[in-house]
Chain A
Amino acid sequence: MSAFVESIDRARQAIAAHRPDVPSGPLATRLEALRADGFAGFEAQGLPTRRDERWKGTNVSKIADLAFERVGVSDDVGNALANDPRVAAFEPDVLFVDGRMVQASAARTDLPEGIRILSLAEAATEIPDVVAAELGGLADAKVDPFVALSDALFEDAAVVVLAAKAHPARPLRLLSVTSASGNASAHFSRLLFVAGESSQGLVAFESMSAGDGPGFTSLVSEFRLATDAKIVSVELQTEAADRVHVSQTFAALERDASFASTVVSLSEGLVRSEISVTMQAEGGSTWLNGFFLGRGDAHHDHFTTVDHAAPHCTSDEEYRGVLTDDAEGVFRGRVIVRPDAQKTDARQSNPNLLLSEGASIDTKPQLEIYADDVKASHGSTIGQLDDDALFFLRARGIDEETARLLLTRAFAQKIVDGLFEPGIRALVSERVDDALARLEERSP
C-alpha cells in the first residue's frame, strides 16, 4: 500500500469527526451516500498509474509517495489566516483554510442581488433538494479516483446559486489557503455552482499556500448552467513547491449557455488541472483559456475535455505554456464531437515557450470526431523567444534579462487580455508579474 493510501486510511476517522454538522434531510442523506460511494470508488480504482492513458504524462508516484499527517484545521488557524494581508487583499466571499470553510455567513450579507452562497449546513435548510440533486452530479466517483477521494473526504462545499436572470455587478471571489502548519496536510475543497436561466456571472477561485510545506490539495468544482446562462470562471493555482494540487472542474451546459474558463497556473509543485465541459444542448459555447508557468522542478499537467454532445455548439481553446529550469509541462486537449453534433465549430491551440535546455513539454490534441459536418482545428507549437524581438528591445537600451522577461510576459498577455473584468484582470496580472519576478531572481 502506498504512503498516500495509508495516510487516507489513518485520516478517515479524524475527518469524520471534523466535519460540520448537516441537519438531517435529503442533503444529509445524499452526503452520506456520496461519502460511502467515494470510499468504495477509491478502493476499487486506487491511484492511477502511468499505464492509464489519461495519466501518461505525469509521474503519479509523486502522489503515491506522499504521506500526509493531517486533514482539516482548527478554527483558530482559520481565523488567524483570515487576517493575513494576502488573504485580506483577495477579499474572499468564501474562504477555505485547509479545506474547511471558515468564512462566516455574516460576512456575506453584502452579496449582490440574485446570488446566494451557502455552506452545506445552510444549504440543508434552505435548498436541500437542489443541492442533493446536483452535488456530485457531474463529477463521477466511479470513473475517477481523485473525484472519489474528494467525495469521501471533503468537509464542506461552497454552494453558489445564481437566480434566473441574475446579473451581479461584481465578481465572486473564492479562496483556498493551505496553512503553514509544518506538517504535511491534505485537504479537499469543493464548489457547486448552479446558474439559473439567463443568469450571468463571474467566479474567481484561487488556491494558494500561506507558507512552504508538503501535502495534497484537491479542488472539485461543478458548474451547472441552465438555458442561456453565461458564466466566466477564473482559476488561479499558486500553491507552493512541495505541494501536489489536483483541480478538477466539470461543467454541463444547457441550450445557448456559455462557459468561459481561464486557468492561470503558477504553482511551483505538481499540478494536475482538469476541465471537462459537456455541451448537452444546441447553441452552447465554450472558451477554455489557460496560462501555465513552471520553473524549478514544477510539473504542470493540463488535461481538458470538451464534449460536443449537441449540434451547433462552438468551442475555442487556447492554453499557453512557459517552462524553464527543469520544469515539465503536459497538455492534452480532448475534443469529442458526437454523431449528432453537426455544425460543430471546435478550435484549439497550445503554443509553448521553452526557456531552458532542461524544460520540456508533452503536448497532444485528441480529436474524436463522429459527425461529418464539422469545423475543427488544432495546433501546438514549441518555441523559444523571438530573436528579432529580443534584439529590438536590446537595441533600445533594455538589458537582455529584462527584455526576456518582457517577451515572456507578452506571451502570457493574450490570456490576461481575455479577462474583461478589471478587478480580476488586475489580480491575475499581479500574480503573473510576481511569478515572473521570481523567475528573474533565480537566474544567474
Chain B
Amino acid sequence: MIVLFGVFLLSLMVITALAIVRTQHLFVAVILTGIFSLLMAANFFLLDAADVALTEAAIGAGISTVLFLSALALTGEHESVRSSNRILALSVVAVTTLIVIYATFDKPRFGDPLAPVHQHVSPWYLETTPEAIDIPNVVTAVLASFRGYDTLGEVFVVFTAGIGVLFLFGARPPRNSGSPGTRAAEQGLGLRHYLIPRVVGRLLIPFILLFGFYVQFHGDYGPGGGFQAGAIIAAAVILYALLEGEAQALRVIPHKLLIGLMAGGALLYGGVGVASLLLGGNFLDYSVLAADPVAGQHRGILLIEAGVGITVTGVLLSVFHAFAGRRRR
C-alpha cells in the first residue's frame, strides 16, 4: 500500500516537474514549485522522515514560495524567450538522466534492512542515543550532538547565504526619507483594505508563533527543531508583513535586530562549542556543560537548537525584507 502511495506521489512529482519546465509564466512556475515541495514533503513523510518532511513543507512549500513571489514582483512574470541551442541542452539532460537511471540499478531494494546505509553508523546511533543523550527523537540527537559539526556548518551556510543576499541588495536598511505622501503610501501597503484576510490572519499569527516555539522546544521529543521552527516563526512575521505592510513589520522587528539575530544565532552555536572547549571537553561535546553528562547533552542541544532557530529566522526575514524593501527605493 505504501509503495502504491509512493509511486502515485512520485508520478505526480514528475508531472509537476514537467509542468514547471513547460510553462512560460513564471508565476505559475513558482506555484508549481510550491506544489512540488508539498508532494516531496508527503513523500518524505511516507518514508517515515517526519523531521525532513516538516522542513520541506515549511521552507520548500512555504517560505521559498513567498521569497520567489517577492522576487517576481521586482521582475517580470513571463520567461524571456531565448534562442539558444536547445538540442545541446536536451542531449545533456538525456545523457545525465540515463546515467542516473543506470546508477539506480546498483541501489539496494526499497526498505532493505541489509542496505549499506543501515549497516554503518546507524545501529550505533540507535544504541547509543538512549544511554548517552536520552531523548526520544534520534534525529535530533544525531543532528545536534553526534553530527554537531555538520549542523554548525549548515548554520554557517544559512548565515553566509543571508549575508550574500544582503550584499547583493545593498546591506543598508531601507531609506526612511521621502515626502509625507510616499510615507502614507508606504503605510498603506499590504492587505489593509481586505477585511477577511486581515481579520483571519491577525487571529492566526499568535497561534503560528506558538506552534513555531512548540516545534523549537519539542524537537527533542518529536519531529522538529531549529530549522523548522525558524521557518515557521519567520512565516508568521512574513504573514504580518503581508497583512499590515512591510514597513509596519520592519517597525516591529527592526533591521538592526534582524542582523543581530542572524549573527547571534550562529554565534550562540559556536559559543556553545567554545564553552565546551573551555570546560575541558572537545569542541561541541556537550557532556561537560553540566555535572551530569546526560544533562549536559540536554543543555547543549537546547542551546544549539535555539541558535539554529534564531539564525534561520533572522536570515529568512532579512531576505524577505531585502526583496520587499527593494520595491520602495
A binds B: no
